[in-house]
Amino acid sequence: MAPGSVRMKGFGAGLYVALVVVLAGCGGDNTTTFVLESGSPSASAKAGASPSTTASGTPASSTLPVTAATPIPDGRKIIIDSPDSNTSISSPLQVSGTASVDKGTVVAVVLDASGTELGRATTTASAVKPDFGHFDVSVTFAGATSGAKGRIKVFGVSPRDGTTPTNFYYIDVRFA
């Protein structure tokens, strides 16, 4: 055996020990951290949490932030929860729903059957895009004919100009 080969084995063993020590120091912590996933109303736990701390299909209101809302099916970004199309509406009209729009800005418009705007109101949802938040807005309108068809249209606005409609949703209604 050459005299230098003993030193190389010693150096290699020392390097191996140093590498093991460094890697052991990089181990994860054992704390449980909860995160709210984007687009999901239920909290989920990172690996290492006990099964009793992970979220179930039914969120517990005490563990969710006020801004959490259920994502809308079919990839929609806005939906009207109330009123529904079976409701005869009158002014002022309370419109509520769920939205995932830029800056959380939601505009609700009441239209007559020909598309003429009868009233409009703006509010901010409880969360901004990409999350889903609740919105609730009161729209005062005038000029509706009792018994006639109408439409409630809700939309977000472009962050570029603050006025261009994006991601709209509407329901057809009757005026009371």
Which pLDDT does position 131 carry in this prediction? 94
pLDDT > 90: percent of the chain: 49
Q: What is the pLDDT of residues 45-102, one digit of tens each?
A: 333 333 333 333 333 333 444 555 677 777 889 999 999 998 899 999 999 999 999 9
* Distances, alpha carbon 38 to alpha carbons 20, 43, 169, in Å: 37, 10, 22
Which pLDDT does position 21 carry in this prediction? 42
5 — alpha (psi -120 to 50), left (phi > 0) or beta? alpha
Across the range 7-19, mean pLDDT stands at 50
Confidence of residue 1 (pLDDT cuts 50, 70, 90): low
Which pLDDT does position 75 carry in this prediction? 83
Tokens 């261009």 sit on residue: 164
Which pLDDT does position 12 carry in this prediction? 52
3-class state of residue 25 by DSSP: helix
Which pLDDT does position 68 carry in this prediction? 56
On average, the pLDDT of the chain sits at 74
> Using CA atoms, how far apart are residues 113 and 173, in angstroms rounded to an integer?
9
Contact (CB, 8 A) for 39 and 131? yes
Sign of the CA dihedral running 125, 126, 127, 128: positive
Which pLDDT does position 105 carry in this prediction? 95
Kindly give, in sequence order, each residue whose CB lies less than 8 Å from that of residue 88, ignoring residues fewer than 6 positions away.
173, 174, 175, 176
Kindly give, in sequence order, each residue whose CB lies less than 8 Å from that of residue 21, ignoring residues fewer than 6 positions away.
none
